[in-house]
Amino acid sequence: MRCPLSEGRTQVVFGVGNPNADLMFVGEAPGQQEDLKGEPFVGRAGKLLDQLVMEEMGLSRESFYIANTVCCRPPGNRDPKPEEIEACQPWLEAKLELIDPKVIVTLGNFATKLLLNTTQGITKVRGRTYPYGKATLVPTFHPSAALQGGGGDVTSKMRADLVRAKKVLAAC
């Protein structure tokens, strides 16, 4: 209830997955399907993410935790505003502290900019790993970028980033 997004939501989309996971994904904001179901990444982007994670990391959803930078759907699937991200930031920080993952994969600009505290976009920062507290952060594209015309190039870069995350996990 900290921001106006709560007024238009069907339900809070808090996060889902293994509370003891070594791997955590952080996305942007719930979409329509997520708002209806109350779980992150259950629409087309979520199905693509699940497929890529299974193919590149050999992991199913039960193996990791997934959340977003904001817990309520922005109207019309617009980008979350800075004040909305700021209002939800304590919830995300609490999830990160409680889950205590070894590897965090940020999906897209909003999660990446927030957690890396940068203004640089995903195309500039992906392809590398970054320290994040006790964890390692691996930025990659949001799966919706591949669905919205980014196609094979975005998908192949996502695959490479997931392989990078898998190698970091294996070294932990």
pLDDT tens, residue by residue, 15-71: 999 999 999 999 999 988 998 899 999 999 999 999 999 999 999 999 999 999 999
Q: Tell me the CATH number at 45.
A: 3.40.470.10
Structural domain range at position 71: 5-171
Q: If you average pLDDT over residues 132-148, what whole number do you get?
A: 95
% of the chain with per-residue pLDDT over 90: 80
**Mean model confidence pLDDT for the chain:** 93
pLDDT score recorded for residue 1: 67
pLDDT of residue 8: 75
pLDDT at position 145 over 80: yes
Enter the DSSP assignment of 63: G
Pick from 24, 26, 7: nearest CA to 73: 7
For residue 40, the one-letter residue type is P
Contact 88, 2 (CB under 8 A): yes
Give the per-residue pLDDT at 68: 95
Give the residue-averaged pLDDT of 117-134: 96
Share of the chain above pLDDT 70, in %: 98
Average pLDDT over residues 85-100: 95
- Residue 10's pLDDT band, with cuts at 50, 70 and 90, is confident
Say what the pLDDT of residue 134 is.
95
- Domain count for the chain, please give it: 1
Q: Are 93 and 128 in contact (CB under 8 A)?
A: no
Position 159 scores a pLDDT of 97
Query: Hey, which bits of the chain come out as E strands?
Result: 16-17, 23-27, 65-68, 103-107, 130-132, 135-140
